[in-house]
């Protein structure tokens, strides 16, 4: 039995040629048992002659046994599958049905309308082009209608048919239908559904399902079947920039290296420039390889294998993108999350995210709010339970390529997998990447001096060496840094002369400028200590007050003052840079020890007598002091 038996009878090859060019439409039906949903699907199958005689015989006998329609055929029995469900009279899962007409093949996702099964509806909707939402004409727009519409909108379905069913029970009343339509359209304004078609029907009687209803001659829109056959599902994904997540690297031998995947968006032809994300490496497509020969072009939806002109590193999970408009990469993003796990979702708990062919550990850093699927109201919450929907900030363990769900659903969607049970516990749609700057708050909370220091396995400190020019501060500091470095410590040296070449080049040697010189150096040393480093400061720093000021910037025990003591005679005899000579001649003004005072420290943590001790011994002593405390 089939809808165009005549053509099949006469010329089956002509029929096959015609049917070869059918397109595919996937749709979801939403409604509860009471809305007559199963009856509607049964009716579509029956009217499109997809039911065989043996099935019909079984249906007739079942209808009498367990049917709800007396001696008439109970179409609902055609679509209820599992034994347990049959007894309960409800569908508890997503079921897929198939039928076709001259123009299209249809795959119907049949999902239940009960509140606890948001999960199933989202699942069915994820692969649908169109949603049919049933409304009982006696009841109008109900809470469940809003719920179905919201999930439909959330899952990115742009075409919705509102099937106002059971018109027979309200006397095929046009005014009642119009009121429901207006009510629905007013509600749907707040959603992201672009095309809405309202159809008055009676699935039980077959009115406006496939046959135009004589009882509703006031209605001049399409029947449901006409709608399904003609609804234009814009192929927008083909217009988007090219995207293909790499599923598998095809390497039969050393001479061939292809990248296999299903094109998620756009089109591609040999010669086109591509960029591989997240690495950002570019090349050109050499060939589009298939079993049926190389293709001149391929478009979204096709599964192909690409070869590239250059030998670049590409592996599973990478995404081949149009070079000029590559996918974004991020490790922080906001998404809508539908929770499908029996255990609740907890922020901070790690899950595995699968997006494209990429798997990456993620956690929710912030549950911004949940959304009540019935009222669309937002509520604050600490966790998500089964069938709840929330808006969350996510943090991924590493960068991954993605698009915004609205732009390219195939690369903007993800599932979450529980690390222990391996169950699929969540489904998400990416709203946008979070700019890193907006995470300062989060960073400041969690990463601080002690976590940084812990990462470096050291106690951050500032070792402040004071003393006359030529006393050996820089030489000793240099040796100390070498020794610490050898011990695996992270260090930095701030040297008086070097700092005056850069940061403090605007400062001279007046007392005020010397104070400013020390202030700046002390602040820099503090930042570096905060970063976790061991900082060596080698500065004459002649005044006690400034050294005290510096010490006050640090925590107790963090600032170590070392006095490198050498007599004026000693340093004048060393005079490595010839500065004392110049000062004595009056060529340098305000030189410490000559015409500017040096205030000896009163409470240095360590005093090095460089008159007697070698630089090497002094360095040993300082390192020992650091390691002890």
Give the footprint of another protein on residues 313-342 (CB under 8 A). 316, 340
Return the number of other C-beta atoms located less than 10 Å from residue 358's C-beta: 21
Per-residue string for binding with another protein, 402-421, x by CB under 8 A? -------xx--xxx-x----
Per-residue string for binding with another protein, 175-214, x by CB under 8 A? ----------------------------------------
Residue 343 Cβ vs another protein, minimum distance, rounded to whole Å: 14
Residue 396 near residue 353, CB atoms below 8 Å: yes
User: From the candidates 363, 541, 596, 610, which is the catalytic residue?
Assistant: 541
Residue 309 Cβ vs another protein, minimum distance, rounded to whole Å: 18
Binding another protein (rule: CB under 8 A), the pick from 64, 104, 158, 600 is: 104
Stretch that binds another protein, among 78-86, 270-278, 323-331, 464-472 (CB under 8 A): 78-86
Using alpha carbons, select from 124, 121, 126, 199 the residue that is nearest to residue 160. Answer: 199
C-alpha 583/C-alpha 594 separation (Å) is 7
290: contact with another protein by CB under 8 A: yes
Phi, then psi, of 339 in degrees rounded to 5 = -90, 130
284: contact with another protein by CB under 8 A: no
Using alpha carbons, select from 280, 284, 286, 359 the residue that is nearest to residue 316. Answer: 359
Residue 36 near residue 134, CB atoms below 8 Å: yes
Q: Could you say which residues in the range 347-366 bind another protein, by CB under 8 A?
A: 352, 354-355, 357
531: contact with another protein by CB under 8 A: no
Residue 417 near residue 406, CB atoms below 8 Å: no
Secondary structure element (H or E) that encloses residue 183, with its range = helix 174-188
Q: Could you say which residues in the range 208-247 bind another protein, by CB under 8 A?
A: 226, 230, 232, 235, 238, 247
Binding another protein (rule: CB under 8 A), the pick from 34, 68, 72, 82 is: 82
Residue 291 Cβ vs another protein, minimum distance, rounded to whole Å: 4
Helix (H, G, I), strand (E, B) or coil at 35: helix
Nearer to another protein, 251 or 398 (CB): 251
Residue with tokens 């919201």: 150
Using alpha carbons, select from 191, 553, 545 the residue that is nearest to residue 373. Answer: 191
Residues across the chain: 629
Active-site residue flag, 541: yes
Residue 112 Cβ vs another protein, minimum distance, rounded to whole Å: 11
299: contact with another protein by CB under 8 A: yes
Residue with tokens 């005549």: 6
Nearer to another protein, 57 or 487 (CB): 57
Nearer to another protein, 79 or 583 (CB): 79
3-state helix, strand, coil in the chain (%, to 5): 35, 30, 40
97: contact with another protein by CB under 8 A: yes
Q: Could you say which residues in the range 115-134 bind another protein, by CB under 8 A?
A: 119-120, 122-123, 126-127
Per-residue string for binding with another protein, 2-31, x by CB under 8 A? x--x--xx--xx-xxxxxxxxxx-------
Residue 541 near residue 464, CB atoms below 8 Å: yes
**How would you list the strands of the sheet with 461-466, edge to edge?**
491-495, 534-538, 461-466, 559-565, 606-609
Per-residue string for binding with another protein, 53-72, x by CB under 8 A? xxx--x---x----------
250: contact with another protein by CB under 8 A: yes
Nearer to another protein, 293 or 348 (CB): 293
Q: Could you say which residues in the range 573-602 bind another protein, by CB under 8 A?
A: none
Binding another protein (rule: CB under 8 A), the pick from 30, 225, 319, 427 is: 427
Task: Concatenate the DSSP letters of all residues of 293-326 into one string.
Answer: ---S-EETT-EEEEEESS-----TT-EEEESSSP
């Amino acid at each position: 039995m089939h809808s165009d038996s005549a053509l099949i009878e006469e010329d089956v090859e002509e029929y096959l040629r015609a049917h070869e060019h059918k397109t595919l439409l996937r749709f979801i039906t939403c409604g509860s048992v009471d809305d007559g949903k199963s009856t509607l699907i049964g009716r579509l199958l029956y009217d499109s002659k997809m039911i065989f005689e043996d099935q019909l015989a079984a249906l007739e006998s079942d209808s009498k046994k367990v049917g709800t329609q007396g001696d008439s055929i109970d179409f609902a029995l055609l679509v209820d599958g599992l034994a347990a469900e049959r007894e309960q009279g409800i569908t508890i899962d997503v079921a897929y049905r198939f039928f076709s007409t001259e123009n299209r093949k249809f795959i119907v996702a049949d999902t239940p309308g009960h509140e606890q099964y948001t999960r199933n509806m989202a699942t069915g909707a994820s692969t649908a082009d169109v949603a049919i939402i049933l409304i009982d004409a006696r009841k109008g727009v109900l809470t469940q209608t809003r719920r179905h519409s919201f999930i439909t909108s959330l899952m990115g379905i742009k075409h919705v048919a509102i099937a106002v069913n059971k018109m027979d029970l309200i006397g095929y009343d046009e005014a009642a239908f119009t009121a429901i339509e207006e009510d629905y359209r007013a509600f749907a304004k707040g959603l992201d559904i672009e095309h809405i078609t309202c159809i008055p029907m009676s699935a039980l009687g077959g009115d406006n399902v496939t046959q135009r209803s004589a009882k509703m001659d006031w209605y001049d829109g399409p029947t449901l079947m006409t709608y399904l056959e003609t609804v234009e599902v814009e192929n927008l994904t083909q217009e988007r920039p090219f995207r293909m997540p790499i599923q598998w690297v095809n390497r039969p031998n050393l001479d061939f290296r292809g990248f296999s995947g299903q094109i998620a968006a756009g089109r591609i032809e040999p010669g086109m420039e591509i960029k591989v994300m997240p690495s950002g490496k570019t090349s050109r497509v050499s060939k589009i390889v298939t079993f049926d020969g190389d293709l001149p072009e391929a478009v979204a939806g096709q599964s192909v294998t690409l070869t590239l002109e250059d030998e670049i590193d590409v592996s599973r999970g990478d995404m081949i993108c149009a070079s000029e408009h590559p996918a974004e990469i991020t490790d922080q993003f906001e998404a809508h999350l539908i929770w499908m796990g029996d255990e609740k979702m907890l922020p901070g708990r790690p899950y595995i995210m699968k997006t494209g062919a990429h798997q990456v550990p993620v956690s929710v850093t912030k549950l911004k709010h949940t959304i009540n699927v019935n009222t669309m109201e937002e509520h604050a919450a600490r966790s998500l339970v089964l069938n709840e929907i929330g808006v969350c900030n996510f943090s991924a363990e590493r960068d991954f390529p993605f698009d915004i769900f609205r732009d390219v659903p195939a690369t903007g969607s993800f599932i979450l997998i529980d690390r222990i049970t391996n169950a699929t516990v969540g489904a998400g749609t990416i709203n946008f990447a979070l700019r890193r700057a907006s995470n300062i708050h989060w960073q400041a909370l969690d990463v601080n001096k002690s976590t940084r220091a812990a990462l470096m396995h050291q106690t951050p400190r500032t070792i402040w060496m004071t003393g006359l020019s030529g006393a050996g501060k820089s030489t000793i500091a240099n040796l100390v840094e070498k020794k610490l470095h050898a011990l695996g410590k992270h260090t930095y040296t701030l040297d008086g002369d070097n700092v005056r070449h850069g940061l403090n080049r605007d400062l001279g040697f007046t007392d005020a400028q010397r104070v400013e010189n020390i202030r700046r150096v002390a602040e820099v040393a503090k930042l570096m200590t905060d970063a976790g480093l061991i900082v060596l400061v080698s500065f004459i720093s002649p005044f006690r007050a400034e050294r005290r000021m510096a010490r006050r910037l640090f925590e107790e025990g963090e600032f170590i003052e070392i006095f490198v003591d050498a007599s004026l005679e000693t340093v004048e005899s060393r005079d490595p840079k010839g500065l004392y000579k110049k000062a004595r001649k009056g060529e340098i003004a305000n030189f410490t020890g000559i015409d500017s005072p040096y205030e000896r420290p009163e409470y240095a943590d360590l005093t090095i007598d460089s008159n007697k001790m070698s630089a090497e011994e002094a360095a040993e002593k300082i390192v020992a002091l650091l390691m002890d405390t």
